[in-house]
Amino acid sequence: MPKPSARERAAKRQAINTFLEARHQSNDASEAGRWVCCGKVYVTLESVSRHVHSQHQIELDEMREGSSDPVTLTCACDPTFSTVILFYKYVPVSDPLLFAAHHHDLCTRLGLTGKIRIAAEGINATLAGINPSIASYVDWISRHPVLAAGRLSAEDPDTAFTRRRHLFFKPSSGCAHVFPSLSVRVVDEICPLGVPGLRVKEGADGKVSPAEFFGLLKKARENPGEYVCLDTRNYYESRIGRFDGALCPPIRRFGAFPDFVERNRAAWEGKTVLAYCTGGIRCEKATAYLRQSLSHTEGALRTKILMLDGGIHNYLEWVKEQQQLQSDPVSATGSSAIIDSLWRGRNYIFDARQSLGLDEKGKGEWENGDDAGVIISWCQICAVTREDRYTKCAGASCHLLVLCCDECRAGRYADGKVFCCEVCERWEREGEEQGVIRARKEMCRCERERKEEERRGMVRTGVEVEMEALGG
């Protein structure tokens, strides 16, 4: 696996320097260096650097790369010829560097694109490629000792590429172009939470199937005081899709989840927590942290922590199966009513397809009345039109995801540049007039408001609420 080039190392240094410079305050004769970030003042370079590396890694990565990964895809490939897989495994990896090198070599030869993160605690991967290449990779990794306990190899007469493999690798249609390239990295955590010493146990501790989760969601509806449905994803994911009645943390990165838990733990003690995420990887670590953090107060009722096995992805696949079975007169069991999935909107995914849903043919309600296909989010500019497709803020070093409808894109942002708020737009437009790229010295308004909400410990509920216009 290649090491970072001199150019990549220089880009990283430049990103850090630019980020710090934008937050550096001008000095006078009586004042030492001062940096202001996230509402706090830092008087030493060491202290502000620690803060930036721990709290702003997303921004640093985006600045280093010059942009972030694409969130839209225009491609003429037939998606039936290709597959995207998504999988993870918390399992000891004795030599992460060697494991990563083998991955980089094989995936390069197979022409696969995507992201693979490997650590001593396991592997997290999402890959795309033509069907034969994906099949070759799946055969190889299924036989590897890291996944041997999962009984996924082709030699296992129980599996072939049927149910167990399907649930584990979560295949979906999409060509190799949904990722810009192949990225294989050795990291400290395959899903960064930043809690030293936290261990995720192998096995099915607290995992429930989609069918069981569905039943628990119905119980939560009937007994809201006894259950908490908890979305462990980031705010921009839950904005466009979530389970009905879910609590959705206003966080931008998973590393902020522990602080969110500490601010809200009193409201969850003694209840049954139903946690979920995209594919399961964050839930495994989040529920491990919840078990460590909750139910240890003297005299408190014990909190029950459960997670959706396979995440939203496998839940939506299960719902599709149920709808097909119940709509088939041969397979139906007496009732022609298709279930209300209790899912609303779309499942955000981290590639250029951006999201997947139950209704891939178009936007709107299912014929049976299930609200799963209804768009639950609103254009952030006009707050009038429902919108669930993100674009990137054009502000320098911002790259926040913005929901902007076609009307606003054609009107206010006819030049193709969409902004998350007036702060980003002002800095960008003034820089264009001056013919320079200006380093923004203030946090954009929408990110500042989100951070304030995060610090207050508030949550966004799963109940649909019309958004306040951000731009006028």
* pLDDT band at residue 277 under the 50/70/90 scheme: very high
Q: Considering 107, 191, 277, 424, which one is annotated as catalytic?
A: 277
User: Which CATH number applies to 204-369: 3.40.190.10, 3.40.50.1370, 3.90.1150.10, 3.40.250.10?
Assistant: 3.40.250.10
Task: Kindly state the percentage of the chain with pLDDT values over 70.
Answer: 75
Q: pLDDT value at position 367?
A: 38
Provide the H-helix boundaries in 23-130.
Answer: 45-55, 57-65, 96-110
Q: pLDDT value at position 336?
A: 42
Q: Is the pLDDT of residue 95 over 90?
A: yes
CA 215 to chain centre: 25
Q: What is the pTM of this model?
A: 0.77
The 10s digit of each residue's pLDDT in 369-402 is 445 568 999 999 999 999 999 999 988 777 789 9
* Residue length of the chain: 472
C-alpha gyration radius of the chain: 23
Give me the residue label for tokens 């969601």: 217
79-186 adopts what CATH topology? Answer: Alpha-Beta Plaits (3.30.70)
Q: pLDDT value at position 180?
A: 86
Neighbouring CB atoms inside 10 A of 405's CB total 19
Q: Give the span between the Cα atoms of 174 and 79, in whole angstroms.
A: 5
The 10s digit of each residue's pLDDT in 300-350 is 567 899 999 999 999 999 998 888 887 665 555 544 445 688 999 999 998
Locate the domains of the chain by residue range: 6-65, 79-186, 204-369, 390-461
For 18-21, the CB contacts below 8 A with 24+ separation are 18/63, 18/397, 18/439, 19/52, 19/56, 19/59, 19/60, 19/63, 19/397, 20/45, 20/48, 20/49, 20/52, 21/439
Q: Is the pLDDT of residue 183 over 60?
A: yes
Task: Kindly state the percentage of the chain with pLDDT values over 90.
Answer: 44
Q: What is the mean pLDDT of the chain?
A: 80
Give yes or no: 277 in active site: yes
